[in-house]
Structure 1
């Protein structure tokens, strides 16, 4: 692969209301060795972590369901999305973050989470790296009802599905969240469930 050179010429903050939207003007080298000036917008919401809880004895997984405004304004009739438990790192390391989010959102207290990979989820416009985890759960690990934090405006429904049902839900479009599909497919490829 050819090495490219990038020189950032100017960064403008377009919005820092919720997270930070920047317009970056940069010079990038082309294949022929010449440079080209381009401008792109990048949305920085911080990095995050996501986890799929699974139970090998029952063949079930834990997912959540909540309202997601961007899906609503882009054709999801009720804005509700079924997805794996996730959250922003908020200055924690990824494993501590996902343990905290798991308990807040699902009510399950896990002691160990296995990191399986990390990925840029929308590298054309969003800076976020998402750290992917899996962990086993059992009924005795359920400490609270979950549902998220009221002071963060969370209203999360905790769902338990058989693994086979979740696979069908991907096929029929009931599960359309990319990170969730990636985690379910990971369990399938690795023959974990």
Structure 2
């Protein structure tokens, strides 16, 4: 008996080796087999599939996929003060791959778990920054690393102010989170992209959206 296949894993999941076997959306792809490699917290699989190339010939391919669930992120901004609210926390994978200290400046973000994207991002904003946000704007949805990671990230933006702050934020101690809340002038945040001090993809994408089409775009309409 294998956890995650025949018996529940630590998150109560079974049949994790069946994912993808029912895909029919692309006639050039026929999934043959799925092997579960790990389900410690997230799920790592190897999938074998037949693929019809553009010249008509078929080949058998294998790909590893890392399934951590889908997530959401939000840029909190104050147009009147021209500031944004970010977080700083330790990211071991970045530290292990050359980041000087692993302490990344980021927009608030988290996994959806069982919630919808908008519900999840309100939860994460409150936990990480201490702000209970009102209306949110959906920006776009992006596959962040489609060569190996299944995650689709839902991007949002929302205004914040002194009136929206309920707690100090900082994340959930019971989940090992130790998050610093960092308020920056928007122009300073853009400078940190240029200098490499902001090196997180989702954060760069939202800051650039804010400058081009969002609340800090030159032709953005004034909020009533």
- Please indicate the TM-score interval, normalised by the length of the shorter structure: over 0.9
- Which of residues 208, 211, 218 is equivalent to 1:185? 208
Which stretches of structure 1, 4 residues or more, deviate above 2 A after TM superposition? none
- Which of residues 171, 177, 181 is equivalent to 1:148? 171
Give the structure with the larger strand fraction: 1
TM-score (norm: length of structure 2): 0.84
Aligned-residue Cα RMSD (Å) equals: 0.9
Instruction: Mark the runs of 5 or more structure 2 residues left unpaired by the alignment.
Output: 1-25, 217-224
Q: Which residue of 1 aligns with 2:7?
A: none
Instruction: Mark the runs of 5 or more structure 1 residues left unpaired by the alignment.
Output: none
Query: How many residues are aligned here?
Result: 191
- Which of residues 128, 140, 143 is equivalent to 1:117? 140
- The 5-angstrom pairing of residues 56-95 of structure 1 reads 56-95=79-118
Alpha-carbon deviation of 1:18?
A: 1.8
- Is 2:47 the partner of 1:24? yes
- Is 2:127 the partner of 1:104? yes
SS of structure 1 residue aligned to 2:208: helix
- Which of residues 147, 167, 171 is equivalent to 2:190? 167
**Would the aligned equivalents of 1:4 and 1:30 in 2 still touch at CA under 8 Å?**
no
2-structure distance, mates of 1:127, 1:102: 23
2-structure distance, mates of 1:189, 1:135: 16
Higher relative contact order (CA 8 A, sep 6+): 1
2-structure distance, mates of 1:144, 1:62: 14
1-structure distance, mates of 2:200, 2:75: 13
Q: Deviations over 1:96-125 (max 9, x none)?
A: 000000000000001221111100000000
TM-score (norm: length of structure 1): 0.97
Q: Which residue of 2 aligns with 1:134?
A: 157
SS of structure 1 residue aligned to 2:93: helix
**Would the aligned equivalents of 2:144 and 2:152 in 1 still touch at CA under 8 Å?**
yes
Range with bigger deviation, 48-57 or 72-81: 72-81
Q: Which of 1 and 2 has greater Rg?
A: 2
